[in-house]
Amino acid sequence: MSELVSTRIRSTAGKLGLPHLAEAINEYIRRAGEGKMGYLDFLDLVLSEELAVRDDRRIRQGLRLSKLPHHKTLDEYDFSFQPDLDPHKVKDLATLSFVEAKANAALLGPPGVGKTHVTVALAVAACRAGYSIYFTSLDDMVRNLRAAEAAGRLLNKLGTYLRPSVLVVDEVGYQPLERAEANLVFQVISKRYEKGSIILTSNKTFSEWGQVFGDEVIAINGPSYRLKNRLAVIERNTNVA
Ligand code: ADP
Ligand code: MG
């Protein structure tokens, strides 16, 4: 292909906001020549690659903005370790129909059973599906809202927790809230109501803090996965002894 044409394509692709095409044009031409592609297949290749690159960029940026503590998936979750947890319930949540419906979900259980893991996995799936995500512990949210309130910037800070399609509130109920703090949390919940989803985790049972949040409730009541490894070490050590 003449240099002139490829230079023009690069410039046009840039103006159209197709940066990958602008970069990869020579590679496309090479692949097209190798594969003896027809026009249709060639256009299909160029457009689907551009879309894949764009999706990838969007997901990476979404995950960065989400403040998720890690990006574990449900594939990494060993359901056989929690026989009381119904995998169907979790997989049902993973279809994200509750996010679509702007409903909420709560994962309840003692420490170490994988509440945060499952929640993060749902949030990663939602991010991939195009929803915006924000992860916070309840304590961090309360602390940030209080500080913002004291600085006269509450409205602005509330936006952080109201804007994302999915707000993950981790570790609800670990610390008791003062009245003013509970009021701030209530503002977030009531303003998000039917506008966006909340996924929360708590070590409290549902009845302990009332039906404020919940539509979908999943209780994981089995043993701690963290303790599993520790127990294995202890067992190994006792066996050796
Ligand atoms: P919780 O939030 O309930 O306290 P986490 O989600 O933080 O528990 O889980 C603790 C650690 O154990 C994490 O590293 C998590 O990935 C892992 N984990 C917990 N349960 C499982 C499981 N069933 N399969 C695989 N990893 C698990
Ligand atoms: Mg946790």
Domain membership of residue 192 (yes or no) is yes
Amino acid at 82: Q
Which residues have their alpha-adjacent CB atom under 5 A from ion ligand 2?
116
Q: Which atom of ligand 1 is nearest to the CA of 107?
A: 3
Cβ of 225 below 6 Å from ligand 1: yes
- Average pLDDT of the residues in 181-202: 92
Q: Is the CB of 126 under 6 A from ligand 1?
A: no
Q: Average pLDDT of the chain?
A: 88
End-to-end Cα distance, the chain: 75
52 & 158 share domain = no
Q: Which residue range forms the structural domain that includes residue 53?
A: 3-59
Per-residue pLDDT at 212 exceeds 90: no
144 and 230 both lie in a single domain: yes
Q: Which of 189, 211, 197 is nearest to 105 (CA)?
A: 197
Closest protein CA for atom 19 of ligand 1: 114
Cβ of 108 less than 6 Å from ligand 1: no
Pick from 114, 116, 120: which is nearest to 223 by CA?
Answer: 114
By alpha-carbon position, which residue is closest to atom 6 of ligand 1? 114
Q: Are residues 100 and 21 in the same domain?
A: no
Q: Quick one: pLDDT at residue 40?
A: 93
Is residue 111 within 6 Å of ligand 1 at its C-beta?
yes
Q: Is 240 within a domain?
A: no
| pLDDT at residue 216, rounded to an integer | 65
My answer on whether 9 and 84 are in the same domain is: no
CA angle at 69 for the pair 64 and 70, rounded to the nearest 5°: 80
- CATH number of the domain that 200 lies in? 3.40.50.300
- Contact between 205 and 115 under an 8 Å Cβ cutoff? The reply is no
Helices (H), the chain: 3-15, 19-35, 39-66, 87-94, 97-100, 115-128, 138-150, 154-162, 179-192, 206-209, 225-240
Reported as a single tens digit per residue, the pLDDT across 8-65 is: 999 999 999 998 998 998 899 898 889 888 999 999 999 999 999 999 999 999 999 9
pLDDT at 235: 40
17: region left, alpha or beta (phi > 0 left; psi from -120 to 50 alpha): left
Question: Is there a single domain that holds both residue 106 and residue 199?
Answer: yes
Proximal ligand: closest to the CA of 85: 1
Ligand 1 atom at minimal distance to the Cα of residue 201: 2
Please work out whether the CB of residue 120 comes within 6 Å of at least one atom of ligand 1. Answer: no
Q: Does 116 sit in the ligand 1 pocket, CB within 6 Å?
A: yes
Among 225, 226, 227, 229, the mutation site with the greatest number of ligand 1 atoms within 8 A of its Cβ is 225
Q: What is the C-alpha separation between 127 and 166, in angstroms, rounded? A: 9
Report pLDDT for 127: 98
Higher per-residue confidence, 231 vs 192 = 192
Confidence class of residue 223 from pLDDT cuts 50, 70 and 90?
Answer: confident
* Residue 33 Cα to ligand 2 middle (Å): 52
Q: How many angstroms separate the CA atoms of 42 and 34, rounded?
A: 12
Query: Based on the domain organization, do 223 and 119 belong to the same domain?
Result: yes
Assess whether the C-beta atom of 113 lies below 6 angstroms from ligand 1.
yes
pTM for the predicted model, two decimal places: 0.85
Q: Tokens for 116, please give them.
A: 């945060």
Ligand nearest to the CA of 90: 1
Give the residue-averaged pLDDT of 101-115: 92
Q: Are residues 55 and 122 in the same domain?
A: no
The single-letter DSSP state of residue 130 is T
Give the per-residue pLDDT at 218: 75
Joined tokens for residue 209: 């803090």
Gap from CA of 141 to ligand 1 centroid (Å): 22
Count: domains in the chain:
2
